């Protein structure tokens, strides 16, 4: 059998107004937290903490205040994490643009789509033009990968090479 908490008695009209106001604030914070989680959805590296669940309960004023404060803290932390990630992505974008403009000044730099916050596997890598000769001569270029490599082992589709090599 589930143990039920006794319902708290409302003592004054002021307490009822305070509870109404706190419920409104909690609902607003939950909407903002949900909106934030939806806005960062494709970013797998930003954790979105789950909303605590449990049995329905009628919360008193102190519990509503604690819930409001916890939600406000979670929302502030989520916004701070996103701001830090956006700053890192902007630094990576600036680095990529600088490497494209002057590859010789950015030797061996690699920037991936993940670093700039875009989906996919493409990356930009500054390499010497003709291997060791190009490295000694100072001939550097930016090589842009074509995307995600083919799967190894688990791929059941035959490769083009095996189709045409028989």
Write out pLDDT tens, residues 46-66: 565 555 556 667 778 888 888
Question: Which H or E element spans position 144?
Answer: strand 140-144
Give the residue from 50, 46, 52 showing the smallest Cα distance to 80: 46
Could you tell me the sign of the dihedral formed by the alpha carbons of 125, 45, 80, 38, in that order?
Answer: positive
In a domain, 17, yes or no: yes
> Do 19 and 81 lie in a common domain?
yes
In a domain, 74, yes or no: yes
Residues of the chain with pLDDT under 70: 1-11, 41-56, 147, 149-166
Q: What percent of the chain has pLDDT over 90?
A: 16
As beta bridge partners, residue 43 has none
Range of the domain at 136: 93-150
Report the number of distinct structural domains present in the chain.
Answer: 2
Distance of alpha carbon 86 from alpha carbon 7, whole angstroms: 46
In a domain, 162, yes or no: no
> Do 28 and 66 lie in a common domain?
yes
Could you tell me the sign of the dihedral formed by the alpha carbons of 129, 135, 139, 143, in that order?
Answer: positive
């Amino acid at each position: 059998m589930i143990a039920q908490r006794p319902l708290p008695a409302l003592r004054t009209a002021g307490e009822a107004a305070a509870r109404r106001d706190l419920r409104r604030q909690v609902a607003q914070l939950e909407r903002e937290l949900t909106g934030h989680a939806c806005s960062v959805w494709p970013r797998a590296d930003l954790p979105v903490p789950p909303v605590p669940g449990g049995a329905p309960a009628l919360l008193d004023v102190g519990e509503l205040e604690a819930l409001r404060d916890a939600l406000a803290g979670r929302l502030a932390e989520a916004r701070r994490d996103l701001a830090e990630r956006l700053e890192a992505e902007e630094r990576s974008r600036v680095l990529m643009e600088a490497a494209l403009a002057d590859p010789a000044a950015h030797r061996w730099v690699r920037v991936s789509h993940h670093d700039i916050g875009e989906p996919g596997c493409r990356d930009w890598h500054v390499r010497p033009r003709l291997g060791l000769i190009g490295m000694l001569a100072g001939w550097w270029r930016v090589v842009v990968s074509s995307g995600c490599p083919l799967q190894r082992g688990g791929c059941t589709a035959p490769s083009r090479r095996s189709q045409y090599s028989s």
